[in-house]
Amino acid sequence: MHNLISYIRNNIKINLLLFFIIGAIPAAYAEQSAENIIKERQALFSKNYNTAKRVQSLSSKGKLDEAKRLMMEMSKNFKKLLTLFPENSKEGFGTEALPSVWEDKKSFDALMQQSSDRMVELTKTIDKSSDIEVALKQNMWGSCKSCHSKYRKEH
Ligand code: HEC
């Protein structure tokens, strides 16, 4: 027992150092994961933007099968995005998400889910659509706009 006390006393600096390192690991990890999550969702939005432009151009050329495949990809990405707005990712790391996302998380999630559903809907209706431009505006570009106007910073 005596030995243990003198060991702790002799090594107090090392013990304190270890204590702080062990304490700092979870905090550093949370920071790291918030950064990764923000970067991941931004990359996914950028990807969806590029895909949307391709959907637009393929559709206007009448290449609907290829366009539909990309619509399904966008739908899946919107679903994935539902998981990329956890509480610890509200600020920092260049996020353009507004606090309103978390103040009104249910409506935000509903809008994201609706955006995903509309892309699936589009794969079913685009063939019969009399005006492809209008269909894309309503079911694809409209989703981006209605969400950004409430939940994304001016950029
Ligand atoms: C339900 C909400 C929602 C929908 C739907 C949505 N966005 Fe966004 N978008 C956001 C938010 C929030 C951000 C900010 C993310 C961040 O910076 O953390 C964002 C960011 C972006 C960015 C910037 C990414 C970056 O690199 O910083 C682009 C580009 C983008 N969106 C395109 C689109 C397009 C195109 C659509 C439609 C096809 C769309 N978004 C649909 C909410 C949405």
In this predicted structure, the answer to whether residue 37 has a pLDDT above a threshold of 90 is yes
Enumerate residues lining ligand 1, CB below 6 A: 38, 41-42, 45-46, 48-49, 52, 95-97, 101, 108, 111-112, 115, 140, 143-144, 147-148, 151-152
Q: Is the dihedral of CA 10, 12, 13, 19 positive or negative?
A: positive
Q: How much distance in Å is there from the Cα of 60 to the middle of ligand 1?
A: 24
Tens digits of residue pLDDT in 43-65? 999 999 999 999 999 999 999 99
Mean pLDDT of 55-76: 97
What local confidence, expressed as pLDDT, does residue 31 receive? Answer: 72
Average pLDDT over residues 128-153: 96
Mean pLDDT of the chain: 93
Q: Which residue of 150, 152, 153 sits with most ligand 1 atoms within 8 Å of its CB, as the best mutation to test the pocket?
A: 152
| Section 101-129 average pLDDT | 97
CA distance 7 to 15: 10
Q: Give the per-residue pLDDT at 20.
A: 81
Q: Are 78 and 116 in contact (CB under 8 A)?
A: yes
Measured between alpha carbons, how far is residue 85 from residues 39, 40, 71, 112, 114 in Å?
Answer: 11, 10, 22, 11, 16
Residue 23 confidence (pLDDT) above 90: no
> How many angstroms separate the CA atoms of 131 and 137, rounded?
10
Supply 108's token pair: 């935000």
Q: Is the dihedral of CA 106, 111, 116, 117 positive or negative?
A: positive
Give the pLDDT of residue 124.
96
Q: Which atom of ligand 1 is nearest to the CA of 101?
A: 12
Pocket test of ligand 1: the residue of 38, 144, 151, 155 to mutate, having most ligand atoms within 8 Å of its CB, is: 144
pLDDT tens figures, 77-105 = 999 999 999 999 999 999 999 999 999 99
